[in-house]
Structure 1
Amino acid sequence: MSRHNSVDLDSPDRPFDNIINFRDVGRAVNQFCRKEILKEGVFFRSARLDDASERDKRRLADELHIHTVIDLRSTAEHQTGTRKRRAELAKAESDISEYDLTAAPVPANPTEHLLQIPGSERALINLSGKGFERSLISKLDWLTYGKVIGLMTIGCRNDAVRLLCQTVMQPRGLIGIAKDTLDFSTAELRKVFEILASEDSYPTLVHCTQGKDRTGLVVLFILLLAGEAVPTEAIVDDYSRSELELVPEFEERMKEIRAVGLDEEFIRCPPGFVPDMTAYLETKYGGVRAYLERIGVGIEMQERIKEKILA
């Protein structure tokens, strides 16, 4: 169903039909600060693009000229997206009223759901990759560890993920999980920033499922790289506005996170996210620049990113 409403059709802030939590990061910061700090039209963030309408697709390609899409979702999320797409097609063909996504077979090609934007390139970077998964597994007791490994061995990956979410991710909370991402998804984060350091990558759109936490972490790095030019209050505002932006799909997303064993906290924006993550970077790594150097994103690459975003 289209979510388009009657705002100025020439406004860059007008909503998409079926893409939510979308914004030009530079424009959002500039509006909050009431002055031009960042370039506009170069760095965007959003929730997943899977349900985009044809009009949304044309706008991304012809108006915003998106060159690179960085998709931070996991393999399990892509599989869910493809099962959902197949369910929608099956429902349209047979007029079935319900389709059990959890019971549906795992698709052989888990990328059928991905939006094709003419003229753009896509980077699939699972920010919850192998290192992150190993860190979660290391927190399990032996009994639960055996269950998780057993499920993965027989191909029940989604069930294994659900058990991990219930026993580890839920107690860790969003901020704890974000810290784990910094500590254990270093290879994946390096890939993200290697792309962002490339002159040919822009305009760039970064997204995950909700476009809130993993996307928010990448955006946090970008805004911290800008230095004192971007006040902390502007970074907090950009992160926290996702909660309101996600309201249109609250029930759908609640159903999805409950299916993996998580609760309502995981569709909220905890007020301490930005200050806590900034403090963690400072105390453990010496700040965002030192962290990026540590994972292989050198000063020259950092300066190229900074040059691309600062007005």
Structure 2
Amino acid sequence: MQKNNHEHTAALYFDGLTNFRDFGGYATTDGKKVRKGFLFRSDELSKLSRTDMARMDQIGFKLICDLRTETEQKSNKSRMLNQGVEVQNLTMQDKSQEFTRLEFIRYLIRHGKDIDFEQTMKDMYHHMGTGSKSTLQKLFTLLSEKEKFPVLIHCTGGKDRTGFIVAIIQLFLGIPYESVIEDYLHSNICIGPRMKKAEKLIRLMSFYRVPAERIRPMLEVKRDYLEDVLEGIMSRHTNIEGYLKNECGVSQQHLERFKEVVLE
């Protein structure tokens, strides 16, 4: 099933996106299937070409959920604004984690040698698991409305915030755990070349004080990033539905309606 899903998404080629894909098409553990053409994920939408815009029109998106911070939204404006598509800003990171490019360069120069980027990523995922309640509540409320589909969920790289949200959605729908992990890790294949360039740029910005292997954890997805946060959630709840209802405040009605729309 995994292979077929990625073959399906390979046909959806964009000039200005590296991590775009349909995350439907999977069989669920209770014998159903997630519809294709309803749920999509990607990186940010500021570099869409004219051809890309035509492709987006062809898919016919009704709702775009932007998980980026206000700073990110301002510095890389989505080309899908004012295109007749509903765009919802569902910011996922707390304000303390917002950096402008200049601030990030300064931070790298001053602290680059001391930063444990892997721990930074794990802290960020932990924060997503405990601090995204209102975002998940709003998202699942939106996903309960049939007229909002097809839906596109994205952040900047489409790998971490989007990866976490997509994993929660897929697990809730009953997609097998290993398929969810594989779909999450597929971002590394999609963004590999782009992250190589980013790695060189970050090393240059830090005046080569930070070695490549130190930076890499920030530029890739790792199984334990996602598993650690999922284990934390499952230690507090019996399943993802319990997390969404009891911790995030999503109503049973909204959850049921979402399943009705996307499962066949």
Q: TM-score range, shorter-chain basis?
A: 0.7 to 0.9
Match of 1:80 in 2: 75
Asked if the contact 1:129–1:188 (Cα under 8 Å) also holds between the matched residues in 2, the reply is: no
Secondary structure (helix, strand or coil) at the match of 1:26 reads coil
The amino acid across from 2:233 in the alignment is: L
Does 1:310 find its partner at 2:263?
yes
Q: Measure, in 2, the Cα distance between the counterparts of 1:267 and 1:243.
A: 9
User: Which structure 1 residue ranges, 4+ long, deviate > 4 Å from structure 2?
Assistant: 160-169, 255-262
The normalised TM-score by structure 2 is 0.79
The amino acid across from 2:51 in the alignment is: R
The normalised TM-score by structure 1 is 0.68
Does 1:115 find its partner at 2:113?
no
Asked if the contact 2:45–2:79 (Cα under 8 Å) also holds between the matched residues in 1, the reply is: yes
Deviation of 1:179 after TM superposition, in Å, equals 1.5
Counterpart mapping for 1:126-205 below 5 A: 126-130=91-95, 133=96, 159=103, 163=107, 170=117, 172-205=119-152
Asked if the contact 1:17–1:52 (Cα under 8 Å) also holds between the matched residues in 2, the reply is: yes
Asked if the contact 2:67–2:90 (Cα under 8 Å) also holds between the matched residues in 1, the reply is: yes
What is the aligned counterpart of 1:59 among 55, 59, 65? 55
Secondary structure (helix, strand or coil) at the match of 2:40 reads strand
Q: Measure, in 2, the Cα distance between the counterparts of 1:168 and 1:189.
A: 30
Asked if the contact 2:19–2:190 (Cα under 8 Å) also holds between the matched residues in 1, the reply is: yes
Asked if the contact 1:235–1:274 (Cα under 8 Å) also holds between the matched residues in 2, the reply is: no
What is the aligned counterpart of 1:233 among 164, 178, 181? 178
Deviation of 1:269 after TM superposition, in Å, equals 1.5
The amino acid across from 2:191 in the alignment is: L
Match of 1:209 in 2: 156
Asked if the contact 1:257–1:266 (Cα under 8 Å) also holds between the matched residues in 2, the reply is: no
Deviation of 1:161 after TM superposition, in Å, equals 10
Does 1:42 find its partner at 2:7?
no
Asked if the contact 2:15–2:49 (Cα under 8 Å) also holds between the matched residues in 1, the reply is: yes
What is the aligned counterpart of 1:68 among 63, 67, 74? 63
Q: Measure, in 2, the Cα distance between the counterparts of 1:77 and 1:256.
A: 18
Secondary structure (helix, strand or coil) at the match of 2:258 reads helix
The amino acid across from 2:157 in the alignment is: Q
C-alpha spacing 1:276/1:50, structure 2 compared with 1 (3 Å) = same
The amino acid across from 2:177 in the alignment is: T
Q: Measure, in 2, the Cα distance between the counterparts of 1:65 and 1:308.
A: 17
Q: Give the unaligned 5+ runs of structure 1.
A: 1-9, 82-110, 137-147
Match of 1:288 in 2: 240
Deviation of 1:129 after TM superposition, in Å, equals 3.2
Q: Measure, in 2, the Cα distance between the counterparts of 1:189 and 1:301.
A: 12
Asked if the contact 2:32–2:263 (Cα under 8 Å) also holds between the matched residues in 1, the reply is: no
C-alpha spacing 1:64/1:292, structure 2 compared with 1 (3 Å) = same
Q: Give the unaligned 5+ runs of structure 2.
A: 1-7
Per-residue CA deviations over 1:93-130 (Å, capped at 9, x if unaligned) read: xxxxxxxxxxxxxxxxxx4x543473311111211135
C-alpha spacing 1:60/1:160, structure 2 compared with 1 (3 Å) = closer
The amino acid across from 1:180 in the alignment is: H
C-alpha spacing 1:253/1:72, structure 2 compared with 1 (3 Å) = farther
Q: Measure, in 2, the Cα distance between the counterparts of 1:11 and 1:247.
A: 17
Match of 1:300 in 2: 253
**Larger of the two Rg values belongs to structure:** 1
C-alpha spacing 1:252/1:70, structure 2 compared with 1 (3 Å) = farther
Deviation of 1:160 after TM superposition, in Å, equals 7.8
Fraction of identical pairs, as percent: 26
Q: Measure, in 1, the Cα distance between the counterparts of 2:141 and 2:219.
A: 29
Asked if the contact 1:127–1:189 (Cα under 8 Å) also holds between the matched residues in 2, the reply is: no
Q: Measure, in 2, the Cα distance between the counterparts of 1:12 and 1:263.
A: 28
Asked if the contact 2:63–2:148 (Cα under 8 Å) also holds between the matched residues in 1, the reply is: yes
